[in-house]
């Protein structure tokens, strides 16, 4: 049974089922990830949907179940943050496209715990000092906690490496490889406009290729800190490969000589050598002008040390169903973390601070 959170849900009607505490949860934002999280909350045995916050006027006033393909729940979506606070939820699953620190502080000050798939809170020491002070002060005033998690970064850069290194007594290097075959992803806006596939290599934005330091650096630093091997620095780089001939993918056509694959590398250095590495390889075709090690969509984690390991985690999903399936990899860990964040001491809580996240499946 999960520990009753601060302020405990047990004094509220309908917050127990089968003798177990239930946590009143609000889903904040209903994009791809948020919609999957909303569905998981509704179907969860120890969570109760208290509310849903949406940004789109077209979604406001609709039943939350309708927004995620389920039967009506009686919970109506709103664009009014005041209505959400009036619900006095135990936790908000905060999943907008951009983080609004004013909103997060408002929730925390009201005593509402926050679990987010935003990456701003993976490691407090990596945050802007002024922002960190604001967030920590809000946590203290409200007696609440905030935690960032997801699939990548999160599960694959923190939870999995911590388990794999639990049988090591010497770590020489840990490398995380992420692979995504995007050939059947029917999202032209994402692939061509945002990610830059189909462009001449010279047109690729260097900031995009090096954004991995901001996205994954704090997570790798948290991992190193937790292992007692703090990093001296984090470096990031990117490279692209082109299509030798025109290729048709679900999102459109990639012309010969344009970007068909991208690789982003984030390296954590300690003592002059790479202790931790995260390498993301995203590709639209296996026919490239470069000899890259292309694997099926999923992850590979290689641990070099006195107890070496080489672990493959593949997504056994047909490519044409991948876009519909992958949101769960990010959303579900956040949903499963809710009881643990509700029970945590106030503050910015990392993967290292919380117990192992165990899913309540029945």
User: At 153, phi and psi to the nearest 5?
Assistant: -80, 165
User: According to the model, what pLDDT value does residue 20 have?
Assistant: 58
Question: Model confidence at 10, in pLDDT bands (50, 70, 90)?
Answer: very low
Confidence of residue 21 (pLDDT cuts 50, 70, 90): low
Collapsing DSSP to helix, strand or coil, 259 comes out as strand
HSE, CB side, 13 Å, CA atoms: give it for residue 141. 13
* pLDDT of residue 119 exceeding 50: yes
| pLDDT confidence of residue 5 | 39
Q: What is the pLDDT of residue 207?
A: 66
How sure is the predictor about 43, in pLDDT bands with cuts at 50, 70 and 90?
A: very high
Cis amide bond preceding 140, omega within 30: no
Task: Report, as an integer, the average pLDDT of 101-114.
Answer: 98
Give the mean pLDDT of 311-337: 95
Q: Where are the alpha helices (DSSP H) in the chain?
A: 32-43, 64-67, 81-86, 101-109, 129-142, 160-164, 188, 206-209, 212-226, 322-325, 327-342
The answer on pLDDT for 14 being more than 50 is no
Is CATH 3.40.50.720 the classification given to domain 9-151+327-348?
A: yes
Largest pairwise CA distance in the chain: 65
Domain with CATH 3.40.50.720 in the chain: 9-151+327-348
Quick one: pLDDT band at residue 167, thresholds 50, 70, 90?
very high
Rounded to two decimals, the pTM is 0.92
Angle, vertex CA 321, rays to CA 160 and CA 36, nearest 5: 60
180-238 pLDDT tens trace? 999 999 999 999 998 999 999 988 776 666 678 889 999 999 999 999 999 999 999 99
pLDDT at 277 over 70: yes
């Amino acid at each position: 049974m999960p520990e009753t959170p601060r302020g405990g849900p047990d004094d509220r009607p309908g917050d127990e089922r089968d003798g177990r505490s239930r946590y009143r949860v609000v889903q904040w934002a209903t994009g791809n990830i948020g919609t999957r999280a909303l569905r998981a909350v509704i179907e969860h045995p120890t969570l109760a949907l208290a509310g849903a916050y949406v940004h789109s006027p077209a979604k406001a006033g609709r039943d939350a179940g309708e927004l995620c393909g389920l039967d009506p729940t009686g919970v109506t979506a709103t664009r009014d943050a005041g209505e959400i606070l009036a619900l006095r939820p135990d936790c908000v699953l905060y999943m907008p496209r951009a983080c609004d620190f004013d909103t997060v502080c408002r929730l925390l000050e009201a005593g509402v715990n926050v679990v987010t798939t935003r990456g701003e809170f993976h490691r407090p020491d990596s945050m802007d000092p002024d922002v960190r002070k604001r967030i920590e002060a809000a946590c203290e005033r409200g007696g609440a906690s905030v935690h960032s998690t997801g699939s990548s970064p999160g599960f694959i850069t923190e939870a999995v490496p911590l388990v794999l290194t639990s049988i090591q007594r010497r770590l020489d290097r840990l490398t995380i490889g992420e692979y995504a075959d995007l050939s059947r992803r029917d999202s032209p806006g994402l692939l061509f406009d945002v990610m830059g596939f189909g462009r001449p290599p010279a047109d690729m934005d260097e900031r995009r290729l090096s954004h991995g330091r901001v996205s994954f650096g704090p997570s790798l630093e948290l991992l190193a800190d937790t292992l007692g091997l703090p990093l001296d620095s984090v470096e990031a780089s990117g490279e692209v490969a082109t299509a030798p001939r025109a290729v048709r993918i679900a999102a459109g056509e990639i012309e010969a000589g344009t970007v068909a694959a991208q690789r982003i590398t984030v390296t954590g250095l300690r003592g002059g050598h790479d202790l931790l590495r995260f390498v993301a390889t995203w590709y639209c075709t296996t026919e490239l002008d470069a000899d890259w090690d292309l694997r099926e969509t999923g992850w590979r984690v290689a641990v070099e040390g006195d107890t070496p390991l080489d672990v493959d985690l593949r997504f056994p999903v047909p490519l044409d169903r991948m876009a519909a399936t992958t949101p769960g990899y990010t959303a579900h860990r956040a949903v499963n973390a809710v009881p643990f964040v509700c029970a945590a001491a106030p503050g910015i809580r990392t993967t290292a601070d919380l117990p192992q996240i165990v899913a309540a499946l029945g």
